[in-house]
Chain A
Amino acid sequence: LRSLGVFIRQAGTLLFICMILILLHGSRGEIPSKPIAATILPSVKPDGGVQAYPEDQKNNLPMFTMNYPRIQIPFEITLWVLLASFAKIGFHVYHKITIWVPESCLLISIGLIVGAIMHSVHEEPPAVLTSNVFFLYMLPLIVLDFVAVFMQVLWFAVVGTLWNSIGIGISLFAICQIPAFGVQDINLQENLLFSAIISAVDPVAVLNVFEDVSVNEQLYIVVFGECLFNDAVTVVLYNMFSFVAEMPVVEPVDVFIGVARFFIVGLGGMAFGILFGFVAAFTTRFTSKVREIEPLFVFMYSYLAYLVAELFAISSIMAIITCALTMKYYVEENVSQRSCTTIRHVIKMLASISETLIFFFLGVVTITTDHEWNWGYILFTLLFAFVWRGLGILVLTQIINPFRTIPFNMKDQFGLAYGGLRGAVSFALAFTLPDTIGRKQLFVTATIAVILFTVFLQGISIRPLIEFINVRRTNRNLETINVEIHGRLMEHTIAGIEDLCGQWSRFYWKDKFMKFNNRILRKILIRDSRAESSIVALYKKLELQNAMEILDTASGDISAAPSIVSLYEEKKSSSKPQKKFLAADLKNMHDILSKNMYKIRERTVAYRGKHALPNDNHTREILIRRHVSIRRSLRPGSFQSSYFSLPAGKSLESTFPAARRSYADDHETLSEVAYPSQRSRFGKPARSSSSKAMIPLRRLGTLEEVPSTDVLNEDSSSTEQGVFRTNSSYSDSHVPRPRRLNSSFDNNNGSADDLRNVHEEPSSPPPGWAAEPRDNTARNPLLRRPQWTPKRK
């Protein structure tokens, strides 16, 4: 935890310095050409000049001075950031608002208000958004957060954006020809440029909305991925068109070059990203001794990828995305759990900040700039933006649907089309239009209008609309018990069969790549690379670090189980009743089923919301199984052999399937194990025997009823709490705490009772486990990879 704090300080400082640079480089439109490294040093001092104490007179040394200009700039930056963050807190305090109004709307509104205030006081807003500023600092932060994308997404993003911008551009050009609107001076290039700006769909706004509405995952992934990539496409197009717009004459050769450049930019970006990703993976292979700076590597490399791509004027967004993807795959296996958590936390934080700020400034700047309004142009822009997006989605889905296992139906397509909200990227791009374009103000105004329109109107109305047309949601509705059970069985079957088929796709090259990957790349880039099944790898990792936490129980409520138990008793008494299941019982059943059935291993990282970190259901399940096998191994008789789930001498592979199979066979054992717990609960736990053996047994005894009563406990509404209160801290922060392993054994003899009262803070792990590793390393193959050492901060 200390390292996390340190890192946040580092990241904060970095951001801080960046912000200073932002402000120092002056008004809009200026493009700082010097590389960052050179500018950091000279620019640390504020522009107002160092207020050296004037040397004119020799005054007495003042006791109390105030030197505002000295801190003015950082101070103001900090205030801005704080203000935006307060706004964000404020929204969530009053929860009802966020249901109906997306967060981006609210931020813009607050920004508008603040801007109005500033305008009336005739203050200048801080010139925060120069082009390179946005590109260099804020954009990558938003982008780095999301790393699950697919091929189809590229299709929508690239082709869709092209379609949109060209379509809108040409139609607007057609409109310009009509003299009535008075915009005849805008030529084709400028129109294309403008349309490139406004065809960028903003990820932030859309995802907020979709997530609130909980649409089905396929749709979500596609929209999200599309937003991500179309930023890249838009920026490329923008650069291309702006270059072209400044040229007086356009020849066919230039068009050709433009297209070629498009590909170079896109593919070059990806290549750079992958390159940096590999370098990062290679570096982290050797960082086992310096775990604290692992997150730094991740950030620095991705940032470096971004900057180098900017250097060569290729698509930096693509670079950073591909870098992040590559890193996710390889680096995640090399770094420690803590580093992973740190990285995730920091990224979320930074992304959140930048997103907040961008929308906020959108609002402020809206009020404070001079606008040029032209009814015809702007209205037609809105119209075309809408129409072309709809058409584009329609056509594209028609083409791609045959390739999908679950084709998009009309409702999905509506969701896709309507969810095309514009946002931050358009905003930034509009502001950085070169001044040589005559109608710059008009473009700016039109962009802002489009953004505001889409975010407010579409953003607010999309939720009721989607609910109304009933887009296929994630399946959270109540079906019959049968369907739920059988459905889950089928999913398990499929997962198994897929494993049987191996990692095999329809694409030949992907197969080849996977083979190449396993044979060569993984050996180089990953520290201990064996192609393990993900479950086993995870199992091992967690096993060592978190076994203790299972045994640190939370206090369990010894409350009587509700109706289900009484039902059962009723049943036992009567011979063969026709059971009447009340609605409440049914609901109980559904809850039990959904909470307790083993979840299928997810192949895609499901996005659970901006404010939550990825859920570690998977790992918790593994711990559940572990827990079970612990209990089984503690049956009298097998006691002496080992405390761990692996019987001595067996290898991991042979035992692991055994664990799975035994559930079906051992139902007698299970009931036997489950019931004695009830008896022992009321027995005197304070036996205080000195034998080592008794302690784990007792602890497990207390552990047993915690889950079972918790499940029946109506209060624990979410899976996170319900099953494992013990793991609450674990699942939140995922920070293993094998503390004080060498602590005195005798301490815990007496503190077994205290375990009941231990809630969120599992204290010292039971030394029963600690004692073992030293003896059993030879026997237990699980411990042969000790990533777990007693010396942890």
Chain B
Amino acid sequence: MGSSSSSRNKIPNAQELMDQTGFSSAHLLRLYDRFECLDRDNRGYLRQDTVDFSSFVRILAHFRPTDRNRNKEGTQQELPNSRTRKLKFAFQLYDLDRDGKISREELLQVLRAMLGLQVTEEQLQSIAERAIQEADLDKDDAISFDEFKKSLEKVDIDTKMSIGFLK
């Protein structure tokens, strides 16, 4: 498409973004359109000036399906859609104070959000207790990132944390 080169000029650091995230230029273009769509006031930022286009793209890059056929180069770990990075993304959804651990309180918060109001406090506490018991290997009453990873080792993260059309 003839417009692609000119549109790419609209996007700052397009090449850099493409390298870092693995998106193709067509995808990047589409994301840019979408970003502009969401950004109604044309500020260049979403959500009260915290998310600009490159952050938008970087976050979404986590959700690309993993390329299975890539040979194991050193660069593979850096792509946002590697398994580790996806897990890290999920981990950070819990770990709001960014101390590298999911404390009981943080777990409870997420649980409360996900469960309906029919569940009583006692039940929530028990569930959280059990979750920590299962995952917490070094007995510090919190789940670190490695413990998190270990508890999910059998799960096909790629399926769960991927959006097909971002490939």
Contacts and interface: CB of A to CB of B under 8 A. Distances in A.
Genuine A/B complex:
yes
Interface of A: 405-406, 480-483, 485-494, 497-498, 500-502, 504-506, 561, 564-565, 567-569, 571, 579, 581, 585-586, 589, 592-593, 596-598, 621, 624, 627-628, 631, 663-664, 667, 670-671, 674, 707-708, 710-712, 723
16 contacts: A406-B159, A481-B130, A483-B155, A485-B127, A493-B93, A494-B161, A501-B163, A564-B123, A568-B126, A579-B130, A581-B130, A589-B123, A598-B114, A664-B110, A708-B119, A723-B116
Contact of B34 (A483, A489, A501, A621): A501
B116 A596 contact: yes
A723 B38 CA distance: 37
Interface residues of B, number: 52
A627 B117 contact: yes
Contact of B127 (A593, A671, A674): A593
Given A485-B127, A596-B119, A670-B117, 19 more contacts: A405-B162, A482-B131, A483-B154, A485-B114, A486-B152, A500-B38, A504-B34, A561-B120, A565-B120, A565-B122, A593-B115, A596-B115, A597-B115, A598-B114, A621-B116, A624-B116, A664-B112, A674-B121, A708-B118
Contacts of B34: 501-502, 504
A429 B167 CA distance: 44
A486 B38 CA distance: 29
By CB atoms of chain A within 10 A, which of B37, B89, B116, B119 has the most? Answer: B116
A607 B65 CA distance: 27
B155 A487 contact: yes
Interface of B: 30-31, 34, 37-38, 60, 63, 65, 89-90, 93-94, 108-123, 125-127, 129-131, 133-135, 148, 151-152, 154-155, 157, 159-167
Contacts of A621: 116
Given A489-B110, A568-B125, A596-B116, A586 B163 contact: no
A50 B7 CA distance: 80
Given A504-B30, A589-B130, A624-B117, A405 B159 contact: yes
B160 A491 contact: yes
Contact of A564 (B111, B126, B133, B148): B126
Contacts of A488: 114
B152 A482 contact: yes
Contacts of A493: 89-90, 93, 161
Nearest to A598: B114
By CB atoms of chain B within 10 A, which of A487, A579, A585, A667 has the most? Answer: A667
B165 A505 contact: yes
A181 B134 CA distance: 68
- Interface of A (DSSP majority class): helix
Nearest to B160: A490
A750 to B, nearest CB: 29
Contact of B120 (A480, A624, A674): A674
A565 B125 CA distance: 10
B70 to A, nearest CB: 15
A592 B112 contact: no
A501 to B, nearest CB: 6
- Interface of B (DSSP majority class): helix
A493 B133 CA distance: 25
B161 A490 contact: yes
Contact of A567 (B108, B126, B152): B126
A586 B159 contact: no
B114 A489 contact: yes
Contact of B114 (A483, A597, A631, A708): A597
**Nearest 5 Cβ contacts at the A-B interface:** A568-B122, A707-B118, A405-B164, A482-B151, A490-B160
B34 to A, nearest CB: 5
B151 A486 contact: yes
Contact of B163 (A494, A663, A670): A494
B118 A596 contact: yes
B51 to A, nearest CB: 10
Contacts of B111: 485
A667 B114 contact: no
Nearest to B31: A501
By CB atoms of chain A within 10 A, which of B111, B120, B162 has the most? Answer: B120
B117 A592 contact: no
A585 B152 contact: no
A481 B116 contact: no
A628 B120 CA distance: 14
A707 B115 CA distance: 13
A540 B151 CA distance: 41
B131 A485 contact: yes
A662 to B, nearest CB: 10
Contacts of A505: 165
Nearest to A567: B126
B127 A481 contact: yes
B159 to A, nearest CB: 6
Contacts of B166: 501
Given A504-B34, A596-B115, A723-B116, A667 B109 contact: yes
Contact of B93 (A405, A489, A504): A489
Given A405-B159, A581-B133, A670 B112 contact: yes
Nearest to B161: A490
Contacts of A487: 155, 160
Contacts of A564: 122-123, 126
Contacts of A501: 31, 34, 60, 163, 165-166
A579 B136 CA distance: 13
B109 A664 contact: yes
A498 B63 CA distance: 10
B117 A497 contact: no
Contacts of B167: 506
B23 to A, nearest CB: 12
Nearest to B122: A568
A567 B122 contact: yes
A760 B95 CA distance: 44
B90 A489 contact: yes
A493 B114 CA distance: 11
B112 A663 contact: yes
B136 to A, nearest CB: 10
A653 to B, nearest CB: 13
Nearest to A585: B126
Nearest to B154: A483
A442 B90 CA distance: 63
Contacts of A627: 117
A560 to B, nearest CB: 12
B141 to A, nearest CB: 8
A480 B151 contact: yes
Contacts of B114: 485, 488-489, 492, 597-598
Nearest to A663: B113
B60 to A, nearest CB: 7
By CB atoms of chain A within 10 A, which of B31, B93, B163 has the most? Answer: B163
A502 B164 CA distance: 13
Contacts of B37: 502
Contacts of B160: 487, 490-491, 494
A723 B84 CA distance: 37
Contacts of A571: 125, 129
A486 B90 contact: yes
B134 A480 contact: yes
Nearest to A660: B113
Contacts of A497: 60, 63, 163
Nearest to B90: A490
Contacts of B121: 568, 671, 674
A596 B65 CA distance: 29
A664 B113 contact: yes
